[in-house]
């Protein structure tokens, strides 16, 4: 399953940090952050609950970039 989320981040480097953090989160098959459109595309592993996984993605992204936001 793939979903797109609106994000708020200040710079391209921060967006890259968010992408790395999202890809290291359990339940995420692939995540791509587009700084120009301020969107995060997430593909979830089979059988995962997107809401629960995205809560973890948000926590992990906040660890590397505290002022970022993902609108769930």
The residues spanned by each domain of the chain are 2-71
Whole-number pLDDT of residue 37: 98
Whole-number pLDDT of residue 43: 98
Q: What is the pLDDT of residues 1-25, one digit of tens each?
A: 999 999 999 999 999 999 999 999 9
- Taking the domain 2-71, which CATH number applies? 3.30.70.100
d(CA 26, CA 19): 14
Q: What is the pLDDT of residues 38-56, one digit of tens each?
A: 999 999 999 999 999 999 9
Whole-number pLDDT of residue 14: 94
């Amino acid at each position: 399953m793939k979903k797109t989320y609106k994000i708020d981040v200040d710079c391209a480097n921060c967006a890259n940090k968010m992408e790395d953090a999202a890809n290291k989160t359990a339940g995420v098959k692939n995540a791509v952050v587009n700084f120009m459109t301020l969107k995060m595309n997430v593909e979830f592993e089979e059988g995962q609950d997107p809401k629960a996984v995205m809560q973890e993605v948000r926590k992990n992204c906040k660890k590397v970039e505290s002022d970022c936001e993902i609108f769930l």
